[in-house]
């Protein structure tokens, strides 16, 4: 039995002892969680909060608001040290061991997050912290070797899912300085191959009768594309009470499907968004596993391309050709199923309905970021970005205004970077610079008010705090710092 399945854990979470469910999921037992759970079952304590206080402690959150920074740039540079954590072994809590030091996002997030790390790495490199970026990649390799994939974060309760695969992007950041090191090359190639196998697991089982299994889906043409998934269909430990309450609106037989879809949305990194909702006004209509996401499939094409490059550098032309063939196959599938000529945009695909989604989101710029779009497609997309997504503070996440945090009116740093870099790839520097300037001006004005950077921003009404989500807006913030640093560098160039 795992801690999250114990009577103690369920009692603490359902009774709302903590305002944030994640706090107890991250609790550190003073002896062992097994002993604490056994004592709870024996004693059935009346004062649950006192019992928890006797048997658990909690990692302190470093105070980020006490920095003496007078500018955004100064704040970012001062914060890197505060967001760094030493490698740890023998953890008694839900924290998974990592062999090298690591950088956390900030706020309630005191562990690594998979796709956050790439955007954070951009800023670390700008600040000269190349060794820390190398450590990030070493930690990813370690997790892939032990678990078979990089989990959502280095917590035991995150291991049933991953996040958008960015290990290949991390390899590309370090390629120039590391690729002639054969030991490094062999290590990262093996990790990338294992990660690819994780995403493609069960693909050999697909046929006319079995068209979906875990993260793979057989398309009408017979090709295989990917979706987000989670191997568990239970309430998330870190949001236990919230999931139970949300599922209570559904019939009992539908709750497991709901939990899986909630978890799959967490694997997407977009938790939550109208991208995954059949009814944008109802979270209980979430149907993540019935979408073929454009960003995921573009990133997997990049993973396949990076594997081809790695094997070529290792002198294995056969394996290099194999993965290059996969690149071409996936590129054709992305063009066939995800490009919407009428909308001039790459869209998600609804599996059951066999049609493209109607939700236009910034996930559609990832093919531009990875240079998968044609020049004609890029031209149409830039027009759509300028006329549809551009707002006072940068680019809005979707064109759908909902209560979810990955929708309008919010903007997120990683999506600004995908779009700005994507436009630069195709020569649209004027709009790219305009987006960067809008984002930086908004951040600077917000920083003057708050003295910190945040996880997300309201880009429609800059200065109004971003809403949505299951928790308060978090300070820090790793990927905001990283992307903002890179955008400053872009304007200086």
pLDDT digit string (tens) for 154-201? 999 999 999 999 999 999 999 999 999 999 999 999 999 999 999 999
CB 115 within 8 A of CB 164: yes
Q: What is the pLDDT of residue 65?
A: 60
Instruction: Find the helix packing angle between 413-425 and 375-384, rounded to 10°.
Output: 140
Q: For the segment 406-447, what is each residue's pLDDT rounded down to a tens digit? A: 999 999 999 999 999 999 999 999 999 999 999 999 999 999
- Reply yes or no on whether the pLDDT at 472 is more than 90: no
Higher pLDDT, 2 or 333: 333
Confidence of residue 107 (pLDDT cuts 50, 70, 90): confident
Do the Cβ atoms of 216 and 196 come closer than 8 Å?
no
**Cβ(262)–Cβ(202) under 8 Å?**
no
Over residues 63-85, the mean pLDDT reads 88
Sort strands 410-411 and 457-458 into parallel, antiparallel or unpaired. antiparallel
Across residues 361-388, what is the average pLDDT?
99
> What is the pLDDT, as a whole number, of residue 66?
67
pLDDT at 367: 99
455 is catalytic: yes
Task: Give yes or no for residue 64 having a pLDDT over 70.
Answer: no
Please state, in angstroms and rounded to a whole number, the distance separating the CA atoms of residues 303 and 221. Answer: 23
Please state, rounded to an integer, the average pLDDT across all residues of the chain: 96
**Residue 63 pLDDT class (50, 70, 90 cuts):** low
In the residue annotation, 116 being an active-site residue is answered as: no
Does the pLDDT at position 108 exceed 90?
Answer: no
Spatial CB neighbours of 226, under 8 Å, sequence gap ≥ 6: 199, 200, 215, 216, 217, 292, 293, 296, 297, 300
CB-count burial class (<10 Å; 0-12, 13-18, 19+) for 387? exposed
Distance (Å, rounded) from C-alpha 399 to C-alpha 289?
22
Model confidence pLDDT, tens digit, residues 294-317: 999 999 999 999 999 999 999 999
Rounded mean pLDDT, 40-62? 93
| Per-residue confidence (pLDDT) for residue 88, from 0 to 100 | 81
What is the residue whose two structure tokens read 């919230």?
Answer: 242
Q: What is the mean pLDDT of residues 88-102?
A: 92
| 232-269 pLDDT per residue, tens | 999 999 999 999 999 999 999 999 999 999 999 999 99
Phi, psi of 245 (to 5 degrees): -65, -40
Confidence grade of residue 67 (pLDDT, cut at 50, 70, 90): confident
What's the CA angle centered on 95, arms 240 and 66, to 5 degrees?
90
Q: In the predicted model, is pLDDT for residue 74 greater than 90?
A: yes
Question: What is the reported pLDDT for 471?
Answer: 65
Catalytic residue among 271, 295, 309, 340: 271
């Amino acid at each position: 039995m795992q801690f999250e399945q114990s009577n103690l854990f369920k009692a603490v979470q359902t009774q709302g002892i903590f305002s944030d469910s994640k706090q107890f999921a991250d609790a550190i037992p003073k002896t062992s969680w097994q002993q604490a759970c056994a004592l709870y079952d024996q004693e059935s304590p009346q004062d649950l909060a006192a019992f928890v206080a006797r048997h658990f402690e909690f990692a302190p959150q470093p105070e980020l608001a006490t920095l003496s920074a007078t500018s955004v740039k100064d704040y970012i540079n001062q914060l890197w040290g505060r967001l760094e954590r030493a490698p740890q072994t023998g953890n008694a809590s839900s924290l998974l061991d990592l062999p090298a030091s690591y950088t956390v996002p900030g706020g309630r997030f005191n562990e690594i997050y998979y796709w956050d790390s790439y955007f954070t790495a951009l800023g670390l490199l700008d600040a000269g912290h190349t060794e820390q970026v190398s450590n990030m990649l070493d930690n990813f390799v370690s997790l892939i070797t032990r678990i078979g994939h990089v989990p959502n974060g280095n917590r035991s309760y995150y291991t049933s899912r991953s996040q958008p695969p960015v290990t290949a992007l991390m390899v590309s950041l370090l390629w120039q300085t590391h690729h002639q090191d054969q030991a490094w090359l062999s290590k990262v190639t093996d990790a990338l191959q294992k990660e690819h196998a994780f995403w493609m697991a069960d693909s050999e089982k697909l046929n006319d009768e079995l068209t979906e299994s875990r993260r793979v889906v057989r398309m009408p043409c017979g090709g295989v594309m990917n979706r987000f998934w989670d191997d568990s269909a239970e309430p998330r430990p870190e949001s236990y009470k919230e999931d139970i309450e949300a599922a209570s609106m559904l019939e009992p037989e539908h709750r497991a499907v709901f939990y899986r879809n909630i978890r799959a949305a967490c694997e997407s990194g977009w938790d939550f968004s109208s991208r995954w909702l059949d009814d944008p006004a109802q979270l209980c209509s979430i149907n993540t596993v019935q979408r073929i996401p454009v960003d995921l499939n573009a990133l997997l094409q990049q993973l396949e391309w990076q594997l081809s490059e790695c094997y070529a550098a290792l002198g294995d032309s056969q394996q290099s050709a194999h993965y290059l063939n996969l690149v071409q196959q996936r590129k054709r599938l992305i063009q066939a199923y995800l490009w919407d000529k009428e909308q001039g945009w790459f869209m998600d695909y609804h599996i059951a309905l066999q049609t493209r989604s109607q939700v236009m989101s910034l996930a559609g710029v990832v093919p531009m970021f990875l240079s998968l779009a044609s020049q004609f497609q890029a031209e149409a997309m830039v027009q759509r970005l300028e006329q549809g997504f551009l707002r006072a503070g940068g680019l809005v996440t979707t064109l759908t205004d909902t209560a979810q945090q990955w929708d309008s009116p919010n903007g997120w740093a990683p999506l600004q970077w995908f779009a700005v870099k994507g436009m630069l790839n195709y020569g649209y520097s004027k709009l790219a610079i305009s987006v960067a300037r809008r984002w930086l001006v908004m951040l600077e004005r917000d920083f003057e008010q708050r003295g910190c950077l945040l996880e997300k921003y309201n880009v429609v009404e800059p200065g109004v705090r971003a809403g949505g989500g299951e928790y308060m807006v978090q300070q820090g913030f790793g990927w905001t710092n990283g992307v903002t640093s890179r955008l400053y560098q872009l304007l200086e160039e």
